[in-house]
Structure 1
Amino acid sequence: MSSSKPSLDALRIDRSAIPPDRHGNAWIWWVFLLLVIGGVAAFFFSKRADVPVVKTAKVTEVSSGGSSRATLLNASGYVTARRSATVSSKVTGKVVEVLVDEGMEVKEGQLLARLDASNVSAGLRYAEAQLVATRTTLEETISNLDLAKKELVRFTGLSRSGAASESDFDRATAQARALGARLAKQTADVAVAEADVAQWKQQVEDNTILAPFSGIVTSKNAQPGEMISPMSVGGFTRTGICTIVDMKSLEIEVDVNESHINRVKPGQRVEATLDSYQDWKIPAKVIAIIPTADRQKATVKVRVGFDQLDPRILPDMGVKVAFQADETATLTGKSLTIPKSAVQDDGGQNVVWVLSGEKVERRAVSVSQTTGDQSTVSAGLTPGETIVTESSATLEDGRRVKTSDK
């Protein structure tokens, strides 16, 4: 028995002799390390995602020649019509017929619409009947007066010869005088009746609406069955039949900053460009400078007239104008051109973004003219520089960007 016990003890494992497991919590450290790496990567890629993607172009130098006027000032405004009217009636009435529509050309005096004139037409017929009756009575009095005058002549002769009494002579004289007075009154009555007829005729004419001048109908404001009035009375009463614009009176109204108004003078040459036809340069000139300033906007209104009108020019179109110098400058040598999309308006100043390495720089430039999708730059750039034409985000001076070809 004693000999077998040591043998069993020798088979037991002594756990106190085994060193502790140093790798039991190692997975926790691996997970922490992966989270840190993932966070750094996410931060890096988020920063890269914030980098705007831009399209670029080179500043090119081209040969130029010929002559052109220098631009002193650029401004914007709208095409306006000096003669435009919303045509209404002189009286309140119900519209029975409208003879015009939008886009129709009308002539001065042309019939535009009719109002219900049944009441005034009845009044006119009554006045005309009164005039006929008054004239008939006048004719009767004229005949009686002629007879009384003949009787007076006869009684005058008889009275001188003693064949007629004094009373007969007096009666004939009184009769002639009475008929003369009645004739004068009835003549006045005829004049009153004629004036009454003329008044009713005018009221009938007031129910027809005529074009005050030649032009184009730009809006139709009333329909048959509606009430129209020369003044606003509320409800559903219209104040106009249509609006007519004299297309021959079109011009440009521009608000010029009062600090630059010294560059503008009457008769000055202007080059106008409609927003709808940006490749079309329209010659114009300054008509007048309105002698007052807008204290709220600190601007002065300038009227600019077209040298020649065109059907493409329409009222209320947006237009940009370039006030030009009197002298014609000769352009020779080289000029710099860039895409028009690269030029931005920053508070009235033309700026471009120049790419320097991986960052952009804000650069003020002077644009002498724009033709089509190309702008000619007279100052601010050098040939071969790279400029931004499009950007996926708002640019800031010194901001890092990447080009679309990367």
Structure 2
Amino acid sequence: MNKRVVGIVIVLVALGGGFLLVKQRQGASASAAVAQPAQKSIELLASDLTVAGKAPLARVLPITGTVKATQQATIRSKVSGDVARVLVREGEPVAAGAVLAQIDTTEFASRVAEREQNLNAARAQLAIAQRNAENNKRLVAQGFISPTAMDTTQNQLEAQRAAVAAAEQQLTQARKTLADATVRAPFAGVVTERTVQAGDKASPDMKLFALVDNRSLEYEAALDPQDAAQVKPGMVITLTPDGLPAVPAKVLRVNAAVTSGSRAVMVYAAVPSDAGLKSGQFTGGNLRLGGVSDVVLVPAEALREEGGRTVVYTLVKQGESSQLQAVAVRTSLRGEATSGANAGQVMVAVEGLPEGTQIVARNLGPLRMGVPVKVAQAAAATPTKPAAGKSE
């Protein structure tokens, strides 16, 4: 009986081992099938592609700066007194000489009246001194008084003349102080700031208003000295303000010294008054410098950084189809193409890419290398604005 049980157990163990071996082989086959999925293709639009070709390239220097009015002023009080009226608000245009505020003139008008009376009194005394001098001159000639007495009379006349001149100066100063109590616009412009209200107490040199003339604007940009050395008057900076069309600004002058602290060189360009820009507005721009010719160009969007190198996705013929391949390139100048279908586009000169190579013209995200590529329609030679592609 024991022998039969032992035999049955041996048979069952052998059957179980064989079943386990079959399952292991089936699992290995399934794993191999998963490890080798069917290779899918990538579909691109014809406008996703372009051809790397040689063309002239103008170097473009990106810059940032601020628009400023060539004529702007901080208007301060020249006298002390109570502010009686304020006639303008922020954003209001004013003409040259327009009254902005009025400081109480009671004290100043009284001082002018006093100075006028002092001047009248001094002139009356001068008239008396002149008559005395004329009389004494005749008496000296007749021998009735000594020349010494005549000298004294003449000195008194000169002193009275000096008194009249001093009184005239005092009256002029008083009248100027009275005029300064009326705050006026020094030039035509727009009030950009008001720091005073009616009833405030004004003091000398107290800030009252800020005035800007937006009819004459300049663009100020700080450049590296090496870049600034290439900038010349007459060059054009294409400003790119947010929400506005591009604005051409003509370079007027380049500062001869670097700015302390930043060690940058300031460049100044004239901005058209009808461009819609405002004083104090911050905007970027591009300055076209000298360029090169006969270099292989690719769109700036076609460049990618992978594994610490710059690459371009190219299409390589493999039999009846094409495959993607990443080609490492060396970049040099970045600028605008000056001719051809890509004129005006931001392009980069590259080395290591043969002329005529078909490439992916823009950044479509990570793409699988070595897989077949389908093109939805015939590839255009040099499209200027590639559209987005898709993968499947």
TM-score range, shorter chain: 0.5 to 0.7
Q: CA deviation at 1:196?
A: 2.0
Residue type of the alignment partner of 1:188: A
Residue 264 of structure 2 corresponds to residue 300 of structure 1: yes
C-alpha distance after superposition, 1:32-66 (max 9, x if no partner): xxxxxxxxxxxxxxxxxxxxxxxx9953549x9xx
Residue type of the alignment partner of 1:193: A
Q: Is the 1:69–1:329 contact (alpha carbons within 8 Å) kept by the matching residues of 2?
A: yes
Residue 222 of structure 2 corresponds to residue 247 of structure 1: no
Name the counterpart of 1:128. Answer: 116
Name the counterpart of 1:84. Answer: 72
Residue type of the alignment partner of 1:315: S
Q: Is the 1:58–1:387 contact (alpha carbons within 8 Å) kept by the matching residues of 2?
A: no
C-alpha distance after superposition, 1:7-31 (max 9, x if no partner): xxxxxxxxxxxxxxxxxxxxxxxxx
Residue 360 of structure 2 corresponds to residue 385 of structure 1: yes
Change (3 A) 1:106 1:330: farther
> Which among 200, 210, 218 is matched to residue 174 of structure 2?
200
TM-score, with length taken from structure 2: 0.58
Name the counterpart of 1:272. Answer: 238
Q: CA deviation at 1:86?
A: 0.9
Residue type of the alignment partner of 2:253: I
Q: CA RMSD in A?
A: 5.1
Distance 2:282 2:214 in 1: 16
Within-5 A mapping of 1:209-224: 209-224=183-198
DSSP 3-state at the match of 1:91: coil
Distance 1:152 1:263 in 2: 82
Distance 2:311 2:84 in 1: 61
Change (3 A) 1:286 1:174: closer
Name the counterpart of 1:29. Answer: none
Q: CA deviation at 1:368?
A: 2.7
C-alpha distance after superposition, 1:98-137 (max 9, x if no partner): 3333334445444433222221221221121122223233
Distance 1:363 1:329 in 2: 19
Change (3 A) 1:220 1:140: same
Q: Is the 2:59–2:289 contact (alpha carbons within 8 Å) kept by the matching residues of 1?
A: yes
Name the counterpart of 1:25. Answer: none
Q: CA deviation at 1:244?
A: 1.6
Distance 2:312 2:245 in 1: 24
* 5+ long unaligned stretches in structure 2: 1-44, 316-322, 339-343, 370-388
Residue 190 of structure 2 corresponds to residue 226 of structure 1: no
Name the counterpart of 1:42. Answer: none
DSSP 3-state at the match of 1:100: coil
Distance 1:285 1:318 in 2: 17
Q: Is the 1:271–1:282 contact (alpha carbons within 8 Å) kept by the matching residues of 2?
A: yes
Residue 308 of structure 2 corresponds to residue 319 of structure 1: no
Change (3 A) 1:104 1:344: farther
Distance 1:111 1:210 in 2: 4
> Which among 164, 173, 181 is matched to residue 190 of structure 1?
164
Q: Is the 2:312–2:360 contact (alpha carbons within 8 Å) kept by the matching residues of 1?
A: no
Change (3 A) 1:316 1:185: closer
C-alpha distance after superposition, 1:270-312 (max 9, x if no partner): 33223224542414226204521565x5x52331312643251
Name the counterpart of 2:39. Answer: none
Q: CA deviation at 1:215?
A: 3.2
Q: Is the 1:288–1:302 contact (alpha carbons within 8 Å) kept by the matching residues of 2?
A: yes
Give the fraction of aligned pairs with identical amino acids, expressed as a percent: 22
Within-5 A mapping of 1:161-172: 169-170=144-145
TM-score, with length taken from structure 1: 0.57
Q: CA deviation at 1:179?
A: 5.2
Q: Who wins on radius of gyration, i.e. which is larger?
A: 1
Within-5 A mapping of 1:2-41: none
> Which among 234, 242, 250 is matched to residue 284 of structure 1?
250
Q: Is the 2:105–2:178 contact (alpha carbons within 8 Å) kept by the matching residues of 1?
A: yes
Name the counterpart of 2:372. Answer: none
Distance 1:250 1:277 in 2: 19
Q: Is the 1:80–1:252 contact (alpha carbons within 8 Å) kept by the matching residues of 2?
A: yes
Name the counterpart of 1:102. Answer: 90
Equivalenced residues, count: 308
Q: Is the 1:285–1:307 contact (alpha carbons within 8 Å) kept by the matching residues of 2?
A: no
DSSP 3-state at the match of 2:207: coil
